[in-house]
């Protein structure tokens, strides 16, 4: 097993902005080893006072919309504005091998080589929404390390994007013009969650179509009821090749942040996210304890064949296993 550092070594390394120590700290919190859980939770608690000073931006869109290309161009623009940028590029995990492609680091070569950028690919595992199970913890570590903007890229494969919305301040949806989406309305659910839409690849022969799409989406958004935060989503056009529209995206994010801080929703939103994070951690820890319980594990192993053959109902076995767990836990 890889040798772990002391709590103080992780903490001082992260707070000093040591990229190697930051990577090691992220590996620790992403670990599924029981022996790492306590140290990881202690580390997150220790660095908590140094977190919360960044703007967290979720970026989603269907495969082919150019998320990684946009993030590289946008990240470089932010760095030119004096910002330090962390990119959490969450890659889809294979359900067979449990391995992930982790290709984003190679797709963002220029950004990855910039000393003011930090790119961390993470596998989604079995979590929905195209985010890693430990994305929240990783965001906090990056904030403690001094990064001003956290960009969370999702896989964008049609899974529930509420997971992303539930951990960022601003949710950006990338769209393509002329892909039929304007008429199909297949992304209505995601569009209702978005704080901003960007018609991407608005260059060369796509420019006129992008302008038409902007009008279409702007009209469509007017049909949605206003959000509880009082913000009306804006539609922009932009290109990662020409860099047109990228400054406007950042201006939109800043305008959103300013308004949310002024009306109190910014902190209210983060407070709700922390509570959701608490509930998720409780669920994860209970699930881990449940399945690792020797008697429960034995009962499930014995009953699986009967469930598979149809002799026993899944509900019946689940009830017995849960009752056994509670009886031995109280």
CATH code at 36? 1.20.5
Domain assignment of residue 267, yes or no: no
Report the chain's mean pLDDT, rounded to a whole number: 86
Token output for 37: 């859980």
- Mean pLDDT for 122-131 is 48
Instruction: Report pLDDT for 187.
Output: 58
Residue 163 C-beta-side C-alpha neighbours within 13 Å: 22
* Whether residues 209 and 295 fall in one domain: no
Domain assignment of residue 270, yes or no: no
> CA 230 → CA 52, 59, 80, distances in Å?
23, 21, 31
Examine the fold and report which residue of 239, 262, 285 is the final residue of a domain before the chain moves on.
Answer: 262
* Whether residues 3 and 141 fall in one domain: no
- Mean pLDDT for 78-88 is 96
* Whether residues 196 and 153 fall in one domain: yes
Examine the fold and report which residue of 29, 50, 71 is the final residue of a domain before the chain moves on.
Answer: 50
Domain assignment of residue 144, yes or no: yes
Beta bridge partners of 236: 198
Question: pLDDT tens digit string along 60-70?
Answer: 887 788 998 99
| Tally of domains in the chain | 3
Confidence of residue 131 (pLDDT cuts 50, 70, 90): very low
Q: pTM of this prediction? A: 0.87
pLDDT of 259 higher than 80: yes
| Listed range (150-164, 246-260, 276-290) with the worst mean pLDDT | 150-164
* Whether residues 117 and 196 fall in one domain: yes
* Whether residues 67 and 215 fall in one domain: yes
* Whether residues 2 and 110 fall in one domain: no
* Whether residues 296 and 245 fall in one domain: no
* Whether residues 151 and 286 fall in one domain: no
Q: Which is more confident, 257 or 129? A: 257
Per-residue burial over 277-288, b if 16 or more Cβ lie within 10 Å, else e, is eeebeeeeeeee
Domain assignment of residue 121, yes or no: yes
CATH number at residue 62: 3.40.50.300
How far is Cα 14 from Cα 26, in angstroms, rounded to an integer? 10
Instruction: Report pLDDT for 2.
Output: 62
Confidence of residue 156 (pLDDT cuts 50, 70, 90): low
Domain assignment of residue 269, yes or no: no
* Whether residues 137 and 176 fall in one domain: yes
Domain assignment of residue 271, yes or no: no
Per-residue burial over 129-158, b if 16 or more Cβ lie within 10 Å, else e, is bbbbbbbbbbbbbbbbbbbbbbbbbbbbee
* Whether residues 96 and 187 fall in one domain: yes
Question: pLDDT tens digit string along 1-13?
Answer: 567 899 999 999 9
* Whether residues 124 and 253 fall in one domain: yes
The sheet with strand 234-237 has its strands ordered as 117-123, 85-91, 149-153, 55-60, 170-176, 196-200, 234-237
- Mean pLDDT for 312-322 is 95
Examine the fold and report which residue of 262, 285, 320 is the final residue of a domain before the chain moves on.
Answer: 262
pLDDT of 170 higher than 70: yes
Confidence of residue 102 (pLDDT cuts 50, 70, 90): very low
* Domain, as residue range, for 9: 1-50
Instruction: Report pLDDT for 75.
Output: 97
Residues 6+ apart with CB under 8 A from 306: 312, 317
Domain assignment of residue 95, yes or no: yes
pLDDT of 141 higher than 90: yes
* Whether residues 44 and 93 fall in one domain: no
Confidence of residue 220 (pLDDT cuts 50, 70, 90): confident
pLDDT of 199 higher than 70: yes
């Amino acid at each position: 097993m890889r040798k772990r550092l002391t709590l103080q070594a992780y903490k001082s390394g992260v707070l000093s902005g040591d990229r190697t120590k930051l990577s090691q700290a992220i590996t620790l919190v992403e670990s599924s080893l029981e022996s790492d859980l306590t140290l990881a939770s202690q580390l997150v608690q220790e660095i908590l006072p140094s977190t919360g000073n960044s703007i967290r931006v979720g970026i989603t869109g269907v495969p082919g919309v150019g998320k990684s290309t946009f993030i590289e161009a946008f990240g470089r623009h932010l760095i030119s504005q004096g910002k330090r940028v962390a990119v959490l590029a969450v890659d889809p995990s294979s359900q067979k091998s449990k391995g992930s492609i982790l290709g984003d680091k190679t797709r963002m070569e220029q950004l990855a080589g910039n000393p003011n950028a930090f790119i961390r690919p993470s596998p989604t595992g079995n979590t929905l929404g195209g985010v890693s199970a430990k994305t929240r913890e990783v965001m906090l570590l990056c904030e403690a390390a001094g990064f001003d903007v956290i960009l969370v890229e999702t896989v964008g494969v049609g899974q529930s994007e509420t997971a992303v919305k539930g951990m960022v301040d601003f949710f950006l949806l990338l769209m393509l013009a002329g892909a039929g989406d304007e008429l199909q309305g297949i992304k209505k659910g995601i569009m209702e969650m978005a704080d901003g839409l960007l018609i991407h690849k608005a260059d060369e022969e796509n420019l006129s179509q992008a302008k038409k799409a902007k009008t279409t989406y702007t009209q469509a958004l007017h049909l949605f009821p206003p959000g509880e935060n009082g913000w009306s989503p804006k539609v922009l056009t932009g290109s990662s090749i020409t860099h047109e529209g990228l400054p406007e995206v950042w201006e939109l994010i800043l305008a959103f942040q300013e308004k949310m801080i002024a009306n109190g929703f910014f902190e209210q939103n983060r407070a709700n996210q922390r509570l959701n994070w608490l509930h998720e951690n409780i669920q994860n820890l209970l699930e881990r304890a449940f399945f690792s319980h020797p008697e429960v594990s034995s009962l499930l192993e014995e009953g699986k064949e009967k469930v598979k053959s149809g002799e026993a109902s899944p509900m019946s076995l689940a009830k017995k296993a849960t009752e056994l767990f509670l009886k031995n836990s109280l």
